[in-house]
């Protein structure tokens, strides 16, 4: 970890991105010994992002193990995201394209630019073969 810290560029002109993939949240959730392993690992990743003050995270697919995650898995995931992604650290990213074209859903802008939310760690995600691309 010390080697990584020495190589982190702290210039304001550089965007630091933490890439995590194949988290498989909810894997073995019914196993009495391993039920929390995927969540503990995901929290370690989020803590790593905070420690190294990254500008954003990119999740490269397979966030969940099951295509339709259980209620417990969804709750644990939302709790971790809320705990580690919301805060007072200003977000330095700016969304440049027309958000109304890119976000035709109920939420017309990216959450880190919403004045009603304090997003300190934006996370972007692409779907994997275990994820439902429709949401």
Top-confidence residue, 4 or 25:
25
**Which of 98, 124, 122, 100 lies closest to 112 in space, CA to CA?**
122
Task: Enumerate the H helices of the chain as residue ranges.
Answer: 2-7, 37-51, 71-85, 99-102
Dist CA 14 CA 21 (whole Å): 22
In the annotation, is 65 catalytic? no
CATH number belonging to domain 2-6+14-125: 3.60.21.10
Run of H or E including 17: strand 17-20
Q: What is the mean pLDDT of residues 129-134?
A: 64
Local confidence band at 12 (pLDDT 50, 70, 90 cut-offs) = confident
Top-confidence residue, 23 or 132:
23
Q: For residue range 105-114, what is the model confidence (pLDDT) as tens digits?
A: 778 888 898 8
Local confidence band at 57 (pLDDT 50, 70, 90 cut-offs) = very high
* pLDDT surpasses 80 at 10: no
* Marked catalytic residue, from 24, 65, 84, 130: 130
Burial of 125 (0-12, 13-18, 19+ CB in 10 A): middle
Top-confidence residue, 81 or 91:
81
Dist CA 122 CA 57 (whole Å): 6
């Amino acid at each position: 970890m010390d080697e990584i810290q020495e190589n982190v560029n702290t210039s304001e002109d550089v965007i630091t991105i933490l890439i995590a993939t194949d988290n498989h949240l909810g894997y073995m959730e019914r196993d009495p010994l391993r039920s929390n392993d995927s969540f503990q690992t995901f929290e370690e990743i989020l803590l790593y992002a905070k420690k190294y003050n990254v500008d954003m995270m990119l999740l490269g697919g397979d966030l969940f193990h099951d295509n339709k995650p259980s209620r417990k898995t969804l709750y644990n995931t939302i709790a971790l995201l809320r705990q580690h992604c919301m805060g007072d650290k200003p977000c330095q990213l700016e969304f440049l394209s027309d958000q109304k074209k890119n976000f035709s859903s109920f939420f017309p802008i990216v959450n880190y630019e919403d004045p009603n939310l304090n997003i300190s760690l934006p996370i972007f995600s692409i779907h994997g073969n275990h994820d439902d691309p429709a949401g």
